[in-house]
Amino acid sequence: MIGLVLIYLIKTFQDNWISIQAINLDYNDYLSLIIAFFITLFAHIFAGIVWFLILRKTFEQKINFFWTIKVYLITNMAKYLPGNIWHFYGRINFIYKKGASLGVASISVLLEPLLMAASALLITLISHSIGLISISQNPSLLLLELLILIITLISFHPQIINPIIHRLSKIKFKNKTQEIEAEKTDLKHYPILPFLGELIFVILRSLGFLFIISSLISLNFSQIFLLISAFSFAWLLGLIIPGAPGGLGIFEATIITLLNHQFPSEIIVVSAGIFRVISILAEAIGAGLTYLPILPKDQL
């Protein structure tokens, strides 16, 4: 699987690198790109911390902090495989082997992208309501999106999640040497803290994109909120549309459509390419950092 991920990432990197070679950058532009890279890298590490909070605080799992971050960053690379589900499978497998019930392992992994999606959708709807971006002129579609957000937020309630956990926890899987019996764990409270964490994650990712744009063109203050809003919606579609590995193609097409009237189209196209390259580098380096000898040794 690792070999397939590397092949897919190298191909994507090469495709997007072509659009970057045509631009000329000075010292300040490179500085903006470096800042964008570190913001993106921190965003992925921060997302791992939020997942740790979901496991430790929301589901009360006795799980090591550094181990959780390692698993998150390493499995994150598998999302670029066709199907866009293998990072979820890897995390469920790791958590289940650590002794959690299948219910807790599955819900903790699925809850994370749902919270991300709800956060991005919230930013998008607020942005549209105050006129920052126009995602649709159809009031019915906007009402549907608001309804989806409300249903998603309600679905995080313990009274809805706990029966699902109990049903999944009755399923037992056997490996070659042992059958894992896991303690049933309920969701004790609404995951407000993880939701706020995912909201910060989406904003961090959008700030990374903002610094990429700023390396190519001067921005005024009002455009900052426009970019954050447009990014959130484009990133949301890349997250929720099935079958698009890492949102490849979906994010780029959406961000270009949303911003081509506010910015020169070539700037947006190049920015989308740079964003994809920086995202891949940040995720790959983030996964590589987990193997540094200075970090605590906690076996996966």
Does a structural domain hold residue 131? Answer: yes
| Confidence at residue 296, expressed as pLDDT on a 0 to 100 scale | 61
For the chain, how many structural domains are there in total? 1
| Confidence at residue 134, expressed as pLDDT on a 0 to 100 scale | 61
**Full-model pTM:** 0.82
Would you state the structure tokens that stand for residue 222, as one six-digit string? 């009002």
- Considering only CA atoms, give the Rg of the chain: 20
Does a structural domain hold residue 294? Answer: no
The DSSP symbol for 84 reads S
Angle between helix axes 192-214 and 265-289 (nearest 10 degrees) is 130
Angle between helix axes 221-240 and 102-129 (nearest 10 degrees) is 140
| Confidence at residue 8, expressed as pLDDT on a 0 to 100 scale | 52
- Residues forming beta bridges with residue 100, ordered by sequence position: 183
Does a structural domain hold residue 298? Answer: no
Would you state the structure tokens that stand for residue 278, as one six-digit string? 């920086």
Contact present, 193 and 53 (Cβ < 8 Å): yes
**Other beta carbons less than 10 A from residue 87's beta carbon:** 22
| Confidence at residue 234, expressed as pLDDT on a 0 to 100 scale | 87
Domain encompassing residue 223: 6-289
Give the type of residue at 201: F
The DSSP symbol for 189 reads S
The DSSP symbol for 296 reads -
The DSSP symbol for 83 reads B
The DSSP symbol for 58 reads I
Does a structural domain hold residue 295? Answer: no
Task: Return d(Cα 170, Cα 298) in angstroms, integer.
Answer: 29
Q: How far apart are the two ends of the chain, measured CA to CA in Å?
A: 17
- Residues forming beta bridges with residue 174, ordered by sequence position: 179
Give the mean pLDDT per block of 10 residues along the chain (300 residues): 52 58 75 95 95 89 89 88 81 86 82 90 81 59 76 84 72 46 64 93 95 90 85 86 67 83 82 88 90 63
Task: Return d(Cα 89, Cα 72) in angstroms, integer.
Answer: 11
Does a structural domain hold residue 221? Answer: yes
| DSSP annotation string for 60-126 | -----HHHHHHHHHHHHGGGGSTBS-HHHHHHHHHHHHTTB-HHHHHHHHHHHHHHHHHHHHHHHHH
Q: What are the C-alpha distances in Å from 261 to residues 133, 135, 222, 225, 267?
A: 11, 13, 15, 16, 11
